[in-house]
Amino acid sequence: MRVAIAGAGNVGRSIATELLDNGHEVLLIDRDPKAIKAATVPSAEWLLADACEMSTLEEAALHRCNVAIAATGDDKVNLVVSLLAKTEFNVARVVARVNHPDNEWLFTEGWGVDVSVSTPRIMSALVEEAVSVGDLVRLFSFRQGEANLVELTLPANAPIAGTKISDVRWPEDTSLVSIIRGKHVFSPMPELALQVGDELLFVAAPERESQLEDLLSPHS
144 and 67 inside one domain: no
For residue 131, what pLDDT band results from cuts at 50, 70 and 90? very low
164 and 197 inside one domain: yes
SS (H, E, C) 129-145: HHHCCCCCEEEEEECCC
pLDDT in tens, 21-32: 889 999 999 998
What is the number of structural domains in the chain?
2
Residue 152 lies in a domain: yes
Which sign does the torsion angle of CA 98, 103, 104, 107 carry? negative
Residue 122 lies in a domain: no
Residue 210 sits in a domain whose CATH number is 3.30.70.1450
CA dist., res. 61 & res. 38, Å (int) = 20
pLDDT in tens, 174-217: 999 999 888 888 989 999 999 998 989 999 998 998 898 888 87
Residue-range definition of the domain harbouring residue 14: 2-117
